[in-house]
Structure 1
């Protein structure tokens, strides 16, 4: 399963437009298995990352922002003193797309 994570992290997001169907629950579950610590709920995937201090948290947030800009796929972030919850969904299709998993794998590499 680690290979699937690396495969996802090495891919690039593709534009996703309305009319494209979201991933099925089975497809999403298969992709989720390659992402350690990520969970799925109501058409999104999320993970809470923990840090030693605020400075490390903000460095992580900035790295996630860079990934989002580069991939043109943006997560919702909930930032605390030493935590950051990263949530992905593809709003244009009202559910999960492969882009969500690609970006999650890239974000996960920040702590691997």
Structure 2
């Protein structure tokens, strides 16, 4: 388990600062399979996970959903045959917070 994956999310308000570029660059090596993407003007972490079939992909998305609910931090999940795309970002601040990197690391561990 990675150091980042052992951490838990901290409650965050709409006034919480987004991560700076140096902070993001420091955290990205801890989640090397994730990409920084911009959707609807908001920076997000995204990764596509592949599986042998729909049932395995669905089981994984259920695990991610359970983790998200336990942490009170919810991603966008797209379930397709043989793959699941997960995107983490902090809705309240319209961008990335350390919580998103924590959840990306924890999602990797579920995979």
Shift of 1:36: 2.5
Equivalent residue number for residue 104 of structure 2: 104
Corresponding residue to 2:11 among 15, 26, 29: 15
- 1:25-64 equivalences under 5 Å are 25-42=21-38, 43-64=43-64
Q: Is the strand fraction higher in 1 or 2?
A: 2
Q: CA deviation at 1:26?
A: 1.7
Spell out, residue by residue over 1:3-59, the C-alpha distance to the aligned partner (whole angstroms, 9 max, x if none). Answer: xx7111111101111111100122112111111310102211100000000110011
Could you say which residue in structure 2 is the equivalent of 1:87?
Answer: 87
How far apart are the structure 2 equivalents of 1:62 and 1:106?
A: 14
Q: Quick one: distance in 1 between partners of 2:63 and 2:85?
A: 14
Q: Deviations over 1:61-80 (max 9, x none)?
A: 11000110111100001110
Give the structure with the higher percent helix.
Answer: 1
Give the total of aligned pairs. Answer: 107
Q: Return the offset for 1:105.
A: 0.5
- TM-score normalised according to structure 1 size: 0.91
Determine the C-alpha separation between the residues in 2 that align with 1:98 and 1:71.
Answer: 13
TM-score normalised by the chain length of structure 2? 0.92
Question: Structure 1, unaligned stretches of length 5 or more?
Answer: none
